[in-house]
């Protein structure tokens, strides 16, 4: 009886592991296309698919059964993306890369979802290095002569190979080669090309390289594959690809305005020190130090400790009546881009309301902005860990100050 029980449990776990992708139900984007709400501006796309040795590592996403390899998770993500594509005319390509090789295994040809999915299913793991730079260069040739606008979608861990022969952790992705290749492609295509980086795994090195890639093109966007498991998030991502919605990556990062100085302090700085800093500033910009405040998960209400901090910040504002404040709200990585953007704006607004109602700070000295989950103060290795140290650090609002 016990053997039968164990057998049933094993079969159930096996079924869940290998049929997990079947639970993905793509959002139907055809009504949005037909109604004109979603306008197609992208005519061509190429997926660069990493099948090097490091893709055999675990993706790192928590599951009841276990973690799939990055390769398996990447294949599921790519197939889900294709399933979400609306019924429109697209010229498509699928190019794998590994070692010093790169092969176009589909296209360039009109997108046929069934054939494209078969091509994705045919991808197998190899034990070798990653030559992303060569693949990017080859994709530039794939798109050459294609009419209209194009998308380059890179599906990779952007990380080193764990083992090559007897050598461990080989730094086989040469960042300078990758950046040179993407810069050359960007020079050729300019604003006719959007680049999307889908990261597998959660290594900081991989995240850094994916961000560097999209920072070096006319338009780019990066996201972890884990977030695309949600059909609604995948639909939003596909809409970006279809509509060519890929503003420069820098626009998603909090940037100071002209002469803006941002200082965040764990403890308040005494005013005498602040004045001393201002006295030596050549452009007569006064530097003020403010503490940032933090929120509970999915909340925009001010906690008692946040109000105590704001009272100290209010006093600094009263002591510097020429100061104008921009309040920037942020969130952790859990949740959709759209929801986090809204939440970050609500957090900034809550701070503004408190400054006006409790501190009697004039509204014409205040402005707010929300940055969602962009520009985190700490990298979140596992976004689904809602109360991790990094997540708590990112649920914040900070002050951006300028005094002329």
How high is the pLDDT of residue 44? 97
How high is the pLDDT of residue 275? 33
Q: Which domains does the chain have, with CATH numbers?
A: 23-252 (3.40.50.410), 271-402 (3.30.1330.60)
Neighbouring residues of 200: CB distance < 8 A, sequence distance ≥ 6: 50, 55, 59, 70, 73, 74, 77, 155, 156, 157, 206, 224, 225
**pTM over cut 0.75:** no
How high is the pLDDT of residue 260? 38
How high is the pLDDT of residue 384? 77
Phi-psi group of 352: left, alpha or beta (phi > 0 → left; psi -120 to 50 → alpha; rest → beta): alpha
Which residue blocks in 113-247 are alpha helix, DSSP H?
113-121, 132-143, 175-189, 204-215, 231-243
Four-point Cα dihedral 382, 384, 390, 393, nearest 10 = 160
Residues of the chain under the 70 pLDDT cut:
1-22, 60-67, 127, 161-172, 247-288, 381-382, 401-404
For residue range 18-29, list pLDDT tens digits in order. 444 458 899 999
The tokens describing 388, both together, are: 């991790």
């Amino acid at each position: 009886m016990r053997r039968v029980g164990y057998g049933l449990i094993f079969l159930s776990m096996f079924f869940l592991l290998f049929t997990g992708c079947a639970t993905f139900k793509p959002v139907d984007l055809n009504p949005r296309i037909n109604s004109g709400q979603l306008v197609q501006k992208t005519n061509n796309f190429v997926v660069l698919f990493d099948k090097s040795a490091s893709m055999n590592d675990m993706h790192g996403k928590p599951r009841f059964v276990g973690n799939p390899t990055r390769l398996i998770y990447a294949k599921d993500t790519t197939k889900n993306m294709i399933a979400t594509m609306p019924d429109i005319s697209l010229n498509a390509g699928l190019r794998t890369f590994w070692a010093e090789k790169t092969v176009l295994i589909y296209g360039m040809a009109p997108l046929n979802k069934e054939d494209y999915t078969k091509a994705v299913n045919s991808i197998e793991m190899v034990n070798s290095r990653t030559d992303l730079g060569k693949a990017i260069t080859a994709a530039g040739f794939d798109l050459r002569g294609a009419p209209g606008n194009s998308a380059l979608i890179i599906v990779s861990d952007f990380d080193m190979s764990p083992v090559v022969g007897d050598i461990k952790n080989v730094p086989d992705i040469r960042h300078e080669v990758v950046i040179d290749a993407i810069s050359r492609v960007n020079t050729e295509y300019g604003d006719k090309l959007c680049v999307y980086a889908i990261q597998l795994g959660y290594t900081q090195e991989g995240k850094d390289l994916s961000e560097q890639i999209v920072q070096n093109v006319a338009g780019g966007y990066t996201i972890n594959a884990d977030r695309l498991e949600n059909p609604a998030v995948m639909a939003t991502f596909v809409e970006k690809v279809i509509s060519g919605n890929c503003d420069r990556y820098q626009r998603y990062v909090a940037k100071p305005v002209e002469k803006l100085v941002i200082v965040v302090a764990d403890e308040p700085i005494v005013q005498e020190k602040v004045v001393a800093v201002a006295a030596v500033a050549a452009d007569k910009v006064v530097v003020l130090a403010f503490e940032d405040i933090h929120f509970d998960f999915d909340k925009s209400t001010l906690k008692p400790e946040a109000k105590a901090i704001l009272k100290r910040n209010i006093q600094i504002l009263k002591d510097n009546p020429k100061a104008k404040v921009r309040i920037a709200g942020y969130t952790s990585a859990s949740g959709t881009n759209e929801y986090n953007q809204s939440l970050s704006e609500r957090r900034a607004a809550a701070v503004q309301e408190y400054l006006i109602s409790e501190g009697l700070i004039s509204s014409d000295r205040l402005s707010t902005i929300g940055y969602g989950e962009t520009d985190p103060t700490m990298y979140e290795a596992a976004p689904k860990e809602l109360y991790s140290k990094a997540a708590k650090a990112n649920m914040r609002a900070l002050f951006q100050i300028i005094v002329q």
